[in-house]
Structure 1
């Protein structure tokens, strides 16, 4: 038998290397995914403008877009377009959607560790804000959430900011971008840094102080994504962080 013949050793099947977009491929697809998210969000506003019979122009979009209900719907509608764009990018590589994004459930220890770290970071920024006499939450977000509460859009905004936004942003930043960049010359540290920076840029509606807070939280999410190899972990942590902020601002913020 050939398997017992030293001149003819048995064939050993080596696993194929994972199909991953590297640095530039990930960067370009990342722009496409972000554009898809924007199209989904602005598309929801445009749809409301058309349904109300308003003129199809920028002024109408801006007018409707400032309403709490419209903004909540906009954030929610950005999720399916984001997922569709990510699915397309991964499908072209003929890779597993679950494996590519590390959609694995974390252990309770990993979840607890991630939550404790997040709480410590948020508390540190809370102390810094109080010592500097700054608001702990951006003023425009406080106004938006309280206005939504008063206008009956509290549940919609809660779903938008505590479910849709964390899923969209994590799938893009700690999911797709981290996966590709960590497999490139950036390696894991560079991928954590750059994906956190991109995630921070997504929040340019904030001032430099709050952007610094977002960046530090992003670094922690990136580290936990690497440590636990679980995107669900960062989605849960992101959702808990947003949910806490929304609930405190809407109902306990005076």
Structure 2
């Protein structure tokens, strides 16, 4: 037998390297995924315009889009569109959806560590905001959430901003983008920074001060994604952060 013959050692099969989109492939697919998210979101607004029999023009889209219920539905509908585009990109590479996005549950210790770090970052920005006399939450978000509460859309907004938005954004940023860019010449540090920058750009409705806060939180999420090898961890942290902000703004904010 070859296994017993030193002149003919047994063959050892080395596992094939994982199929991953590298820098440009990840960047191009990331753009397509973002477009899919946008199409899913705007599609919900278009559907409401059609159902109400309004003219299909910019004025109607803006009018519907400013309603809390419509905005919440828009954010929610962005999630399936994002997941579909990410699934397609990973499917083309014939890779495992779970492995590609690191959809593994974190340990309680990792979750606690990530939550403590997030709380410290948020508190630090809170102190800076108070020292500068700034609002801790953008004014338009405060108006939107309180208007939604008064109009009976609190639950929809809670689901949109605490479930759908964190999942969509994390699957794109810390899931797909981080996975591909960390396997490219950027390596892990570059992937953390660039994916955080992209995530910040998604929030361009904020001013530069709040964008800086978003970027710093993105860096922490990226580090935790790498440290724990778990996208579920950053989804949970993102959801907890948004949930706290929404609840405090709706019912306890001044």
TM-score (norm 1): 1.00
How far is the alpha carbon of 1:200 from its aligned partner?
0.1
Separation in 1 of the partners of 2:205 and 2:104? 32
Q: Could you report, residue by residue, the CA deviation over 1:190-248 in whole angstroms, capped at 9, with x for unpaired residues?
A: 00000000000000000000000000000000000000000000000000000000000
The more displaced of 54-63 and 122-131 is: 54-63
Separation in 2 of the partners of 1:160 and 1:79? 9
Superposition map of 1:28-177 within 5 A: 28-177=28-177
Unaligned runs of 5+ in 2: none
Unaligned runs of 5+ in 1: none
Matched residues, number? 254
How far is the alpha carbon of 1:2 from its aligned partner?
1.5
Q: Could you report, residue by residue, the CA deviation over 1:45-64 in whole angstroms, capped at 9, with x for unpaired residues?
A: 00000000000111111110
Q: What is the SS of the residue equivalent to 2:95?
A: coil
Q: Could you report, residue by residue, the CA deviation over 1:157-196 in whole angstroms, capped at 9, with x for unpaired residues?
A: 0000000000000000000000000000000000000000
Separation in 1 of the partners of 2:187 and 2:3? 40
How far is the alpha carbon of 1:67 from its aligned partner?
0.3
How far is the alpha carbon of 1:8 from its aligned partner?
1.1
How far is the alpha carbon of 1:5 from its aligned partner?
1.4
How far is the alpha carbon of 1:3 from its aligned partner?
1.4
Separation in 1 of the partners of 2:250 and 2:222? 29
Q: What is the SS of the residue equivalent to 1:180?
A: helix
How far is the alpha carbon of 1:253 from its aligned partner?
1.0
Q: Could you report, residue by residue, the CA deviation over 1:108-143 in whole angstroms, capped at 9, with x for unpaired residues?
A: 000000000000000000000000000000000000
Equivalent residue number for residue 202 of structure 1: 202
Separation in 2 of the partners of 1:3 and 1:236? 49
Q: Could you report, residue by residue, the CA deviation over 1:37-81 in whole angstroms, capped at 9, with x for unpaired residues?
A: 000000000000000000011111111000000000000000000
Separation in 2 of the partners of 1:181 and 1:150? 43
Separation in 1 of the partners of 2:41 and 2:21? 26
Separation in 2 of the partners of 1:3 and 1:225? 42
The more displaced of 57-66 and 239-248 is: 57-66
Structure 1 segments of 4+ aligned residues over 2 angstroms from their partners: none
Please, what is the CA RMSD of the aligned residues? 0.4
Separation in 2 of the partners of 1:3 and 1:146? 73
